[in-house]
């Protein structure tokens, strides 16, 4: 909203621009554009310039290879090449380690004046992070001037992570190293490498050659989104894996940049690729096929067969040799239980071990692997489903399905890494504009990831200590190129980095954006294809005091001016300037674009608004919508705007296991020609059509007559329902949708409550 405050008319805008530009010039002098925001930073008015005499002065324990890594990054971004020296000169950068004067682990003190830069780390990591701050400051301007300052800095969380799935799409070891460089620049210290899954096994295991020749490949790959039926495939064999030498190199490369790599070997689910190579490890014995499309598959490792544990322990032995990390990720998520339910070996295991159900069998599986890893001096980390059937004693939980798993684990005094899907899954769309590259689904704009607070408010201060940190996850189903992957990672990873490093008090989105805009020259030097859509126009819907529906437009672009139209034409410099919410009193298409210096910035915003009899009218819901799918005011069901394929775009109402029962009061008896609504059917997101949808009308709000009913919803996506009515007069409209209830066996999320999603009830 920062922009709107200032824009009253186009004439005033001109002079205000002038004032703001002057202010921002003052603010930018000595600006410390560092991401993540340092703990404490004070400009001192001086400036350090690199020159031909600049040397890198190493004192005490600072090792030369650390200095060389810095020099190569500095050179890449600035073309500068200071030499390493043990003698001071007239212009130097001095590095030192002093754990006494710098109290915080990974922390550093950074002092810049005219002649020198001094970086003192608590430890080697602290020195490294001071150097990353220096690279950011020097990299942002053409002359690489470093603003004079004193910075005291240290991280809020010890665990600051990014996950990457290399099974669905493979990225080379060299590519991984480039991303590690970028993560290190923003003080991320953990890379969670998701190495095995249904669609490909990506790590060489010498004892099991078929993991390389068979499991590392799939016959073909799904084209387009998996919700689009029928599925179409590309017919191209796809795959690849990292040799152990490559893995060693990547682990070393990361360690030199203070990044720990945690390998993930998935079990007991997401095992199709391994089963294809070694079918005896599945309950049915196969044959199996490395998956060619995305989802959750019912064939998993057999928990009753000892060969499964022999195989996994052999695999882990080789993994442990390659990865020195304290934690080994063993997956644990999304393991359907139907094969175990009918497998004689699994059932015998349950009887022998006194396990009451298949959830306890999963817990047995994880605990058995945990004991093995503990015996080798390592600890397990797993997705929150490892809570099912009882958590193993030393497990660390990665809370992804929401915050619940993390909260439960912290209350049981288990360590937790927060990665809740709705806040930190970078496979979600970052923009609602329809021409975004294909993504898994969902909506996670930069602002939302930035807003995430990793310590749930329900935890007390003792329990909060179990929250080790936070991680963003990059699932690669739709990321079939480096460019697409980077578009999803950056800049959202920088928001996560700030959440993970900076103190809660230091986090401010508008301030973050002003520092973020200055990272783009660095991205360019690093060859990173970062998205740049965060300043584009977004909208919200409101109501004015007369009950009329309003659409608010907003852009975070400083000095941006929004021009709009409502007649279908393109917005331009000569169409009206937006300065206040627009009242919706007829059906229209709002188009808008943001301009700066008379140039359009970014894409044109477009939103179709339907104006029908129910818009703005009061709505009563009998059952509460689910937390994640609740726009708040029930009248958002009649706001003239339809929910899109991006199911968490803020328009859809979701009823978890409960029915939709909405009553709209039109205020007076009127002729009704049509009632309609939209239902979103996405079984892969646990979103189920109702078993019956019906429309009812009434003149008195007591006696209702049914005017329409529908039981089939053929579209895998948005089902548009329209019922034309004859000779119908009514004041009250009731829409009833009967929830499917529990998701049936064999479907994604079997046994959980089905979500019934509806948006916009139309009355004409
Ligand atoms: C996950 O997203 N299945 C951990
Ligand atoms: Zn079995």
pLDDT of residue 397: 97
Is the same domain home to 193 and 229? yes
- Could you say which of 559, 578, 609 is where a domain stops? 609
Is the same domain home to 497 and 554? no
Which domain CATH number covers 363? 3.20.20.80
Contact between residue 444 and residue 428 where contact means Cβ atoms under 8 Å apart:
yes
What is the CA(400)–ligand 1 centre distance, in A?
Answer: 6
Is the same domain home to 451 and 473? yes
Is the same domain home to 144 and 252? no
Is the same domain home to 729 and 582? no
- Mean pLDDT across the stretch 44-71? 91
Is the same domain home to 310 and 443? yes
- What's the CA angle centered on 328, arms 483 and 208, to 5 degrees? 85
Whether 1 has a pLDDT exceeding 50, the answer reads no
Which domain CATH number covers 631? 2.60.120.260
Is the same domain home to 300 and 434? yes
Q: For residue 334, indicate whether it is catalytic.
A: yes
Contact between residue 642 and residue 587 where contact means Cβ atoms under 8 Å apart:
no
What is the CA(41)–ligand 2 centre distance, in A?
Answer: 58
**Residue 532, domain member (yes or no):** no
**Residue 283, domain member (yes or no):** yes
- Could you say which of 130, 153, 176 is where a domain stops? 153
The residue contributing the CA closest to ligand 1 atom 2 is 400
Is the same domain home to 352 and 385? yes
- Could you say which of 591, 609, 627 is where a domain stops? 609
Whether 518 has a pLDDT exceeding 70, the answer reads yes
Q: How confident is the model at residue 377 (pLDDT cuts 50, 70, 90)?
A: very high
Contact between residue 473 and residue 426 where contact means Cβ atoms under 8 Å apart:
yes
3-state DSSP call for residue 642? coil
C-alpha span between 517 and 189 (Å, rounded): 23
Contact between residue 369 and residue 380 where contact means Cβ atoms under 8 Å apart:
yes
Q: How confident is the model at residue 229 (pLDDT cuts 50, 70, 90)?
A: confident
DSSP letters, 33-95, are: --SSPPSEEEEEEEEE---TT-EEEE-TT--HHHHHHHHHHHHHHH---PEEESS--SSEEEE
What is the CA(372)–ligand 1 centre distance, in A?
Answer: 24
Which domain CATH number covers 83? 3.30.379.10
Tokens read off for 530: 């970062």
Atom number in ligand 1 closest to CA 270: 3
Ligand 1 proximity of 383 Cβ (cutoff 6 Å): yes
Q: Which of 194, 270, 329, 559 is catalytic?
A: 270
Lowest mean pLDDT among 196-200, 311-315, 483-487, 537-541: 537-541
**Residue 504, domain member (yes or no):** yes
Domain with 20, as residue range(s), is 2-153
**Residue 614, domain member (yes or no):** no
- What's the CA angle centered on 267, arms 262 and 269, to 5 degrees? 130
The residue ranges of DSSP E strands in 181-259, in sequence order, are: 190-194, 196-197, 200-201, 217-218, 222-223, 232-233, 238-239
Contact between residue 567 and residue 524 where contact means Cβ atoms under 8 Å apart:
no
Which of 383, 398, 419 maximizes ligand 1 atoms within 8 Å of its Cβ, making it the mutation to test the pocket? 383
Is the same domain home to 424 and 461? yes
Q: How confident is the model at residue 524 (pLDDT cuts 50, 70, 90)?
A: very high
What is the CA(253)–ligand 2 centre distance, in A?
Answer: 40
DSSP letters, 139-158, are: HTSTT--EEEEEEEE--S-S
Domain count of the chain?
Answer: 4
Q: Which of 123, 197, 246, 477 is catalytic?
A: 197
The residue to which tokens 């409550």 are assigned: 753
Is the same domain home to 110 and 24? yes
Contact between residue 654 and residue 626 where contact means Cβ atoms under 8 Å apart:
yes
Number of other CB atoms surrounding residue 586 within 10 Å: 11
Which of 381, 400, 427 maximizes ligand 1 atoms within 8 Å of its Cβ, making it the mutation to test the pocket? 400
**Residue 228, domain member (yes or no):** yes
pLDDT of residue 440: 93
Tokens read off for 36: 């993540």
C-alpha span between 677 and 608 (Å, rounded): 16
Atom number in ligand 1 closest to CA 383: 4
**Residue 576, domain member (yes or no):** yes
Q: For residue 554, indicate whether it is catalytic.
A: no
Q: How confident is the model at residue 3 (pLDDT cuts 50, 70, 90)?
A: very low
Q: For residue 225, indicate whether it is catalytic.
A: no
Ligand 1 proximity of 334 Cβ (cutoff 6 Å): yes
Contact between residue 130 and residue 106 where contact means Cβ atoms under 8 Å apart:
no
**Residue 726, domain member (yes or no):** yes
Number of other CB atoms surrounding residue 538 within 10 Å: 17
Whether 11 has a pLDDT exceeding 90, the answer reads no
Whether 622 has a pLDDT exceeding 70, the answer reads yes
How many CA atoms within 13 Å lie on the side-chain side of 37?
Answer: 22
What is the CA(273)–ligand 2 centre distance, in A?
Answer: 17
Lowest mean pLDDT among 10-14, 159-163, 587-591: 10-14
Is the same domain home to 213 and 362? yes
Contact between residue 308 and residue 347 where contact means Cβ atoms under 8 Å apart:
no
Mean pLDDT of the chain: 93
> Torsion over CA of 368, 374, 379 and 382, rounded to 10 degrees?
0
Instruction: Give Cβ neighbours of residue 381 (< 8 Å, ≥ 6 apart).
Output: 262, 327, 328, 329, 330, 395, 396, 397, 398, 417
3-state DSSP call for residue 727? strand
Tokens read off for 104: 């915080």
CA distances (Å), 384 to each of 234, 301, 332, 483, in order? 34, 19, 8, 31
pLDDT of residue 15: 36
Is the same domain home to 250 and 102? no
**Cis amide leading into 36 (omega within 30):** yes
Ligand 1 proximity of 253 Cβ (cutoff 6 Å): no
**Residue 531, domain member (yes or no):** no
Ligand 1 proximity of 400 Cβ (cutoff 6 Å): yes
Q: What is the pLDDT of residues 12-31, one digit of tens each?
A: 333 333 333 333 333 344 47
Whether 189 has a pLDDT exceeding 60, the answer reads yes
For the chain, the helix, strand and coil percentages under 3-state DSSP, each to the nearest 5: 30, 30, 40
């Amino acid at each position: 909203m920062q922009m709107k405050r200032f824009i009253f008319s186009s004439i005033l805008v001109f002079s205000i621009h002038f004032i703001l530009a002057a202010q921002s010039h003052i603010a930018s002098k000595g600006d410390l554009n560092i991401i993540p925001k340092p703990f404490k930073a004070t400009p001192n008015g001086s400036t350090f310039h690199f020159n031909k005499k600049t040397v890198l002065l190493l004192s005490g324990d600072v090792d030369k290879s650390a200095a060389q890594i810095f020099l190569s990054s500095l050179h890449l971004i600035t073309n500068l090449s200071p030499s390493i020296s043990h003698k001071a000169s007239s212009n130097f950068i001095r590095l030192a380690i002093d754990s006494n004067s710098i109290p915080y682990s990974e922390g550093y003190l950074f002092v810049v004046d005219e002649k020198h830069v001094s970086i003192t780390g608590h430890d080697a990591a602290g020195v490294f992070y001071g150097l990353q701050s220096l690279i950011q400051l020097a990299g942002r301007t053409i002359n690489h001037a470093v603003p004079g300052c004193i910075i005291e800095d240290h991280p809020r969380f010890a665990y600051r992570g990014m996950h990457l799935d290399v099974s669905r799409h493979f990225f080379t070891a060299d590519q991984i190293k480039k991303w590690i460089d970028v993560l290190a620049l923003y003080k991320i210290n953990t890379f969670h490498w998701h190495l095995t899954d249904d669609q490909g096994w990506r790590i060489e295991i010498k004892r099991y050659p078929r993991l390389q020749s068979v499991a590392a490949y799939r016959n073909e790959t799904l084209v387009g989104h998996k919700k689009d039926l029928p599925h179409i495939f590309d017919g191209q064999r796809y795959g690849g894996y990292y040799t152990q030498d490559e893995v060693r190199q990547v682990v070393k490369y990361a360690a030199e940049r203070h990044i720990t790599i945690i390998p993930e070997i998935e079990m007991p689910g997401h095992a199709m690729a391994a089963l294809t190579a070694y079918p005896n490890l599945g309950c049915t014995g196969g044959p199996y096929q490395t998956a060619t499309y995305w989802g959750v598959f019912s064939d998993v490792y057999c928990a009753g067969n000892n060969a499964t544990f022999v195989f996994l322990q052999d695999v882990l032995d080789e993994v442990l040799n390659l990865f020195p990390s304290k934690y080994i990720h063993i997956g644990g998520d999304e393991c359907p239980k139907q094969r175990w339910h009918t497998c004689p070996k699994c059932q015998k295991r349950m009887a022998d071990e006194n396990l009451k159900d298949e959830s306890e069998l999963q817990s047995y599986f994880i605990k058995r692997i945990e004991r093995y890893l503990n015996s080798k001096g390592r600890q397990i980390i797993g997705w929150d489903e490892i809570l099912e059937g009882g958590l193993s004693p030393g497990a660390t939980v990665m809370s992804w399905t929401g915050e619940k798993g993390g909260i439960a684990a912290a209350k049981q005094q288990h360590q937790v890494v927060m990665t809740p899907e709705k806040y930190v899954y970078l496979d979600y769309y970052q923009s609602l504009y329809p021409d975004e590259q294909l993504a898994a689904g969902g909506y996670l704009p930069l602002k939302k990831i930035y807003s995430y607070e990793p310590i749930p408010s329900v935890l007390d201060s003792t329990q909060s200590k179990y929250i080790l940190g936070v991680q963003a996850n990059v699932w690669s189903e739709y990321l079939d190129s480096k460019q697409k992957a980077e578009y999803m990672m950056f800049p959202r990873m920088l928001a996560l980095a700030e959440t993970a490093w900076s103190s809660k008090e230091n986090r401010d989105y508008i301030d973050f954006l002003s520092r973020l805009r200055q990272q783009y020259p660095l991205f360019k030097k690093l060859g990173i294809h970062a998205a740049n859509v965060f300043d584009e126009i977004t909208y919200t819907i409101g109501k004015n005091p007369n009950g009329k529906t309003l659409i608010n437009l907003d852009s975070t672009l400083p000095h941006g001016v929004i021009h709009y139209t409502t007649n279908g034409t393109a917005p331009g410099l000569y169409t009206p300037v937006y300065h206040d919410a627009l009242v919706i009193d007829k059906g229209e298409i709002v188009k808008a674009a943001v301009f700066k210096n008379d140039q359009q910035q970014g894409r044109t915003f477009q939103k179709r608004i339907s104006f029908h009899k129910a818009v703005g009218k009061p709505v009563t819901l009998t059952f509460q919508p689910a937390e994640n799918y609740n726009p708040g005011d029930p009248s958002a069901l009649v706001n003239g705007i339809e929910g899109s394929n991006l199911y968490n775009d803020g328009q859809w109402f979701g009823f978890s296991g409960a029915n939709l029962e909405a009553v709209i009061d039109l205020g007076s008896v009127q002729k009704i020609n049509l009632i309609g609504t939209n239902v979103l059917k996405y079984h892969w997101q646990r979103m189920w059509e109702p078993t019956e949808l019906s429309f009812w009308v009434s003149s008195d709000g007591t006696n209702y007559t049914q005017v329409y009913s529908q039981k089939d919803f053929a579209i895998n996506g948005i089902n548009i329902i329209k019922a034309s009515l004859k000779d119908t007069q009514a004041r009250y409209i009731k829409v009833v949708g009967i929830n499917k209830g529990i998701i049936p066996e064999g479907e994604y999320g079997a046994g959980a409550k089905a979500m019934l999603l509806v948006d916009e009830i139309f009355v004409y």
